[in-house]
Amino acid sequence: MDLLSENKRAAIWSIALLIVGLLVWEMSISAQAINTGELTEYELLTGAGTAKAGVPPPSEVAVKAWQELSNPFYDAGPNDKGIGIQIGYSIYRVLTGYFLAALIAIPLGFLIGMSSVAYKALNPFIQVLRPISPLAWMPLALFIIQDSEASAIFVIFICSIWPMLINTAFGVAGVREDWVNVARTHELGAFKTAFTVILPAAAPTIVTGMRISIGIAWLVIVAAEMLVGGTGIGYYVWNEWNNLDLTSVIFSILMIGVVGMLLDSMFGLLQRAVAYTE
């Protein structure tokens, strides 16, 4: 069996699983459809005649997805924005917080990786700050920054900094001494050594840290936006839950997954670009 046929077989299995899963879901929903028989006037008045809010079947979700995705950028007031706008807000917050974190974590990681004194001096702080749930910072951030938007970005910043910082330090510290010696015998200056030898040597480890960070940032933004409200995919999920619109909730859950996958696969490509074999 060559590789292509293996991939094809895997694809057939994936599609089969999807179809079976959707069918089971669809059928289990229609089975619990309520019986609309004769109702008393009292029952009609209390709303027993309308369908009870239930988990929608996949067909309904598909219809909703089609509606939303065919017009993703409409803006009809604070509580009615297109899915594209909501996701756009979330991505903007994630990327802003993330790149601010990278801007600090990567140079600081270089420093910690190159100097064992810096490592030992900063390690206690890292070890205490790292396990703190990013959302625990939220009240403090809201109080100090006094702006919900910036607080959400700060929460993303604080949660994405640790994997990048630790992986950069680890990657830089692990650069083979031979390669550093090559730089030394070629009289490369500190900056040239950092950029032409240490950075490419540590790049796979650094990018792995960046990939972990973006994953965590995307997990955290949903929760953060549920707290700060206003805009974003996290707020959208919570808002639709308040509207009891489970179709939208399921649709937005799927969108969160798809965007997360796209973000991750972008870093997967970057990882492949910087990889090398010894």
Partner 1 sequence: MAKSFLSIEQLTQRYPDGKGGEFTVFENASFGVEKGEFVCILGHSGCGKSTIMNILAGLSDPTSGVVKMDGFEVSGPSLDRGVVFQNYSLLPWLTALKNVTFGVAARFPQWTKVKVIEHSTAFLAKVGLTGDAIHRKPSQLSGGMRQRVSIARAFANEPKLLLLDEPFGALDALTRGTIQDELIKVWSDTDQTVFMITHDIDEAILLADRILLMTNGPMAQVAESVEITIPRPRNRTQIVEHPNYYAIRNHLVQFLGQRSADLSDQTSGANNRPVDVRIDLTDMAEGDDPEPASVLRAVEG
Q: Which one of the spans 123-131, 145-153, 186-194, 252-260 is the region binding partner 1 (CB under 8 A)?
A: 186-194
Among residues 28, 46, 181, 243, the one that binds partner 1 under rule CB under 8 A: 181
Give dist(CA 218, CA 92) in Å, integer.
Answer: 11
Site size toward partner 1 (CB under 8 A) is: 18
* Residue closest to 60 by CA, chosen among 258, 259, 248: 248
Among residues 179, 194, 245, 253, the one that binds partner 1 under rule CB under 8 A: 179
Is 186 near partner 1 (CB under 8 A)? yes
Joined tokens for residue 143:
């109080």
Q: Which one of the spans 81-89, 156-164, 193-201, 220-228 is the region binding partner 1 (CB under 8 A)?
A: 193-201
Of 70 and 277, CB closest to partner 1: 277
C-alpha torsion 118→125→159→171, nearest 10: 30
Give dist(CA 252, CA 170) in Å, integer.
Answer: 37
Is 190 near partner 1 (CB under 8 A)? no
Nearest distance from residue 220's CB to partner 1, in Å? 33
Q: Which one of the spans 46-54, 60-68, 150-158, 192-200 is the region binding partner 1 (CB under 8 A)?
A: 192-200
**CB atoms closer than 10 angstroms to residue 47:** 8
Is 188 near partner 1 (CB under 8 A)? yes
Do 26 and 59 touch, CB atoms closer than 8 A?
yes
Is 38 near partner 1 (CB under 8 A)? no
Nearest distance from residue 122's CB to partner 1, in Å? 28
Give dist(CA 25, CA 248) in Å, integer.
Answer: 17
Of 91 and 202, CB closest to partner 1: 202
3-state SS class at 75: strand
Locus of tokens 């089971």 = 24
Pick out residues in 259-278 that bind partner 1 (CB under 8 A).
274, 276-278
* Residue closest to 155 by CA, chosen among 236, 206, 111, 100: 100
**Where in 30-80 does DSSP place strands (E)?**
none
Locus of tokens 């995705």 = 69
Helical H runs in 198-245? Answer: 199-228, 233-242
Do 224 and 135 touch, CB atoms closer than 8 A?
yes
Q: Which one of the spans 6-14, 194-202, 236-244, 260-268 is the region binding partner 1 (CB under 8 A)?
A: 194-202
Among residues 197, 212, 237, 263, the one that binds partner 1 under rule CB under 8 A: 197
Of 171 and 260, CB closest to partner 1: 171
Is 200 near partner 1 (CB under 8 A)? yes
Among residues 33, 69, 129, 182, the one that binds partner 1 under rule CB under 8 A: 182
Do 159 and 220 touch, CB atoms closer than 8 A?
yes
Of 72 and 204, CB closest to partner 1: 204
Is 71 near partner 1 (CB under 8 A)? no
Give the residues lining the site for partner 1 (CB under 8 A).
178-179, 181-182, 184-188, 196-197, 200-201, 203, 274, 276-278
